[in-house]
Structure 1
Amino acid sequence: MSWWLVVWNVVLTAAIITSAVTFIIILALPTSYSHFYPRYLTEEAFPENCKENPEKSGYAYFKKHVDEDGTVKIDASVQIVVLGDIGRSPRMQYHALSLATHGGKVDLIGYAGSEVHPDILQNCLINIVPIKPFPPRLQTNNRLLFLLLAPIKVLYQIWSLYYALAYCTVASKWMLIQNPPSIPTLAVCQVVCFIRNTRFVIDWHNFGYSILALRLGPLHPLVKISEWYEGLLSSHGVHAHFCVTNAMRRVLKEKWGIENALPLHDRPPEIFQPLSASNRSEVLHRLPGTTKYADDILSGRCRLLVSSTSWTPDEDFSVLLDALVSYSTTVEQKQYLPNVVAIITGRGPQREHYLRQIEALTKADKLQHVIVTTAWLSPHDYAYLLGSADLGVSLHTSSSGVDLPMKVVDMFGTGLPVAGWSDFEAWPELVQEGKNGRGFKSVESLADILEELFGEDGSQLKSLRQGAMQECQRRWNDEWMPVAGKLFQLKP
């Protein structure tokens, strides 16, 4: 056989294989969204149990807007993407509930794990689509192993996210993603939106590269690559942006030329409400962490301090522990000061580390006038705990300087005044110093705040609570509808 026949056979074989693969890829491409074939709701979408609670299930909206032919046209179908635990992403859950409340059909895509908002489970317009998580045995806090396993984790996340977006849901008009994490979320979602003719919207909670810098350092090559990647993919092919602060909007414009970012400040949802005196007493006597101390808290002999955390490096809880040690020592000298019960809620990678610190401080008698406990609560019980507390504490330090802790918003929703780490640019957008909260920048200043607010006649704490009560009057939907509702073209 002459050489040209060999070349011909090789080329022919390669062409056949390439054609076959291309044909398979075309057949396997996910369907695209078409404005000519919108979605419709019918009575069959609501089983009998949904009709028993029509307001929370979406059935009331259906009955209000149903046409003569028994259908309701869906003007806004939205994929909401969280490359994280859905239950630990409250803002994205609130997006889903607001969309569904105004007739949007929502696919909420993310990792299952923590308990989600109960209203989401009841709403027939919200469909939870779980992403298969990265195997736990391959996850590590070791820096060297993290660098070695990172490419494998990214490849795994790329496929699992793409599969969930492209094949586990029908095409939607919009896709709203939480950023960070940026890798691989931005790239995968851009590709899926292009294929499916979906409008891409980013909700900026922080910057992915600044969080990575907490672990690797700001000058690490991976941090620089992450920053370039985040800027490139967020400034092209994106229909709109939301961001949590005005300061973040400014940075997006100056750093990456993003002109159309819409500030959408976090506000408390309806689940967070102030408690009456009788309800507070019932909650304190019922919750496991407060039962033994309920009478002392109600009488003022003991103050209840609450903090919430994901136990990550951007929250240094040694600041709170050291301040509580200092406060306990002060009580020895100024016995008019009340004891403190401090409850820290949440889950995360550094939880065990701080539990060991708490145990060591307790055994060393450095917390004689302070009880420190941890808890993991349902959304409702967490809201009740905040409503029962005397002071909330935030240790969020902000890797970027322009994001804000949502936990403070939740605290304000119950009328709870806040003491928080204030050494970053966006802090004044949330807390008004001396009106609804206090800011601190060191262990010493936090210890002084605790002494000032818990001591004397409690007038300062009372004044801050009055300011926090004013903050709870404007709710999430009041903030959401003029910004996001307008973008998604929803009916009031």
Structure 2
Amino acid sequence: MVDRQPHLRRRNACIIVLGDIGRSPRMEYHASSLLDEGFNVDIIGYVETKPIDALLLSGPKCKINELTAVPDTNLTPKLKYIFKTIWQTLSLLIALVSIRRPNFLLVQNPPAIPTLVVCYLYCTVTRTKLIIDWHNYTYSILALTAGEKSFIVKLAKWVEHRFGAKANAHFCVTKAMQEDLKVNWKINHAVVLYDRPPSQFHPIELSQKHELFMKLSKDYPQFLPKNCLDFKESGVIESTALTQKLINGNVLYKNNRTAIIISSTSWTPDEDFGILLKALEEYETTASENSSLYPELLCIITGKGPQKQQYVDKVNDLKWKKVSIITPWLETEDYPTAVASADLGVCLHWSSSGLDLPMKVVDMFGCGLPVCAINFKCLKELVIHGQNGFVFDNHRELADQLKFWFENFPSNPSLLESKETFRRNLQEFQSLRWRENWRLNALPIFNSFI
């Protein structure tokens, strides 16, 4: 029988993030896109960081169902993990029974435990379609710290194999992962949905950079002008270490200004910040010996994670003259501006599976920012050495790339050809944004379950 009132069909979606929603941008973009297509969206996850405004300002169409954080206990590590699994299982079940009945669950993996098990059981009972968005593999991440022979790693791999294959549809982030799911997991219909930059990641005017530098100078003296004399007699009404605003409103870069590199990290074992520290140490030595050739370098490292404090302590002990490092937690609206204000991006993400790509590079490319990225198996699906950035295997190669890019900064004539190649290729990358790519590759899958 033909449905003559398709507009009355139920259009409810539920998105599961067993992590911080605000630090799960891909799932936030899924939710925002579904809302734009007229879906009601329930999001289940932790709220440790403010989600994007597109979700917060959608009224009753978007409901964020916050999970209660797992309490701290004095249990042994094994018992603590068991307690955490039980707690999250019950929390997830309680949240699922309280939402609007969805047409489908869209589940972020990892983590697989207990997410895939709980969501599969819920979908079986309620006859809801299950869709998995494969960002990486749980077992490969756990293996970084627990070892491949660990029981928990073997359990995670079994859960991903067993319950992952039962989903009705799959998205994945690379062609390499699509092939791996097909060959090793017997999942033949995974759709590659590349991360693409949303509209807020784009090149900006110098005046916008100046406003950010002025804002950051309130908390970080590295942005304050080195000469604290009043500039008003020369027509300057505002000044930072990098820029100056004239009385007529124009903003100019300063001569011999500081250069900025930016990196976003989760401060976990799969992102070895020590590589960047060693590369910066080598740059510091070379730049100090050739002060007129190399600018001062300000390194902005954003993000939260378990290893952050130990590296912050190391940074605080450094006595460098040409390199400084700050580790701010930027507000949601400031992060795209900071990326667009930098002169070079650095990505330390090394995939535990070798099959996923760093979203931070996608954001940088969206802003027109070239990137130095550490090499791994499928990185070439995003970063092509010498075409839109640089690829390095160790700290020495990264140091050489920093020295190459910043020698005689900002007007090294030998870089003109490279910069033009990067600009042209990044401009082409920016032509396809998240929204258009999602509508082309993801929306047909979601609509098939209405």
TM-score range, shorter-chain basis?
Answer: 0.7 to 0.9
Bigger radius of gyration? 1
Equivalent in the alignment of 2:285: 329
Between the aligned partners of 1:207 and 1:452, the Cα distance in structure 2 is 36
Between the aligned partners of 1:209 and 1:76, the Cα distance in structure 2 is 34
- Which residue identity is paired with 1:477? R
Q: 1:465 to 1:328 in 2, by over 3 A?
A: farther
In the TM superposition, residue 223 of structure 1 has moved relative to its aligned partner by 1.0
Q: 1:382 to 1:450 in 2, by over 3 A?
A: same
Equivalent in the alignment of 1:302: 258
Equivalent in the alignment of 2:385: 433
- Which residue identity is paired with 2:90? W
Of 63, 73, 84, 1:153 maps to 84
Between the aligned partners of 1:385 and 1:158, the Cα distance in structure 2 is 38
In the TM superposition, residue 482 of structure 1 has moved relative to its aligned partner by 1.3
Q: Provide Cα deviations, 1:20-76, integer angstroms capped at 9, x if missing partner.
A: xxxxxxxxxxxxxxx999xxxxxxxxxxxxxxxxxxxxxxxxxxxxx9xxx953553
Q: 1:322 to 1:222 in 2, by over 3 A?
A: same
Is the Cα contact below 8 Å between 1:76 and 1:488 reproduced in 2? no
In the TM superposition, residue 139 of structure 1 has moved relative to its aligned partner by 8.5
Between the aligned partners of 1:369 and 1:260, the Cα distance in structure 2 is 52
Structure (1 or 2) with the greater helix fraction: 1
Between the aligned partners of 2:133 and 2:35, the Cα distance in structure 1 is 18
Listed as ranges, the matches of 1:435-450 within 5 Å are 435-450=387-402
Structure 1, unaligned runs of 5 or more: 1-34, 38-66
Between the aligned partners of 1:96 and 1:197, the Cα distance in structure 2 is 21
SS of the residue corresponding to residue 65 of structure 2 reads: strand
For the pair 1:179 / 2:109, whether they are aligned, the reply is yes
For the pair 1:454 / 2:406, whether they are aligned, the reply is yes
- Which residue identity is paired with 1:278? S
For the pair 1:204 / 2:134, whether they are aligned, the reply is yes
Q: Provide Cα deviations, 1:357-382, integer angstroms capped at 9, x if missing partner.
A: 1112x2xx2x2211100011111100
**TM-score normalised by the chain length of structure 2:** 0.87
For the pair 1:163 / 2:94, whether they are aligned, the reply is yes
Between the aligned partners of 2:419 and 2:264, the Cα distance in structure 1 is 20
Between the aligned partners of 1:153 and 1:277, the Cα distance in structure 2 is 48
SS of the residue corresponding to residue 425 of structure 1 reads: coil
Is the Cα contact below 8 Å between 1:437 and 1:468 reproduced in 2? no
**TM-score normalised by the chain length of structure 1:** 0.80
Between the aligned partners of 1:371 and 1:465, the Cα distance in structure 2 is 27
In the TM superposition, residue 466 of structure 1 has moved relative to its aligned partner by 4.1
Equivalent in the alignment of 1:400: 353
Between the aligned partners of 1:74 and 1:206, the Cα distance in structure 2 is 34
Of 343, 357, 367, 1:390 maps to 343
SS of the residue corresponding to residue 157 of structure 2 reads: helix
Between the aligned partners of 2:8 and 2:335, the Cα distance in structure 1 is 37
SS of the residue corresponding to residue 132 of structure 1 reads: coil
Is the Cα contact below 8 Å between 2:42 and 2:100 reproduced in 1? no
Equivalent in the alignment of 1:487: 445
Is the Cα contact below 8 Å between 2:294 and 2:406 reproduced in 1? yes
Counting aligned pairs with the same residue, the percent is 40
Is the Cα contact below 8 Å between 2:373 and 2:390 reproduced in 1? yes
- Which residue identity is paired with 1:468? L
In the TM superposition, residue 461 of structure 1 has moved relative to its aligned partner by 4.6
In the TM superposition, residue 414 of structure 1 has moved relative to its aligned partner by 1.0
Listed as ranges, the matches of 1:111-150 within 5 Å are 111-124=46-59, 125-135=61-71, 137-138=72-73, 145-150=76-81
Of 216, 220, 223, 1:287 maps to 216
Of 301, 313, 316, 1:356 maps to 313
- Which residue identity is paired with 1:475? R
Number of residue pairs aligned between Structure 1 and Structure 2: 412
SS of the residue corresponding to residue 392 of structure 1 reads: strand
For the pair 1:244 / 2:173, whether they are aligned, the reply is yes
Is the Cα contact below 8 Å between 2:354 and 2:377 reproduced in 1? yes
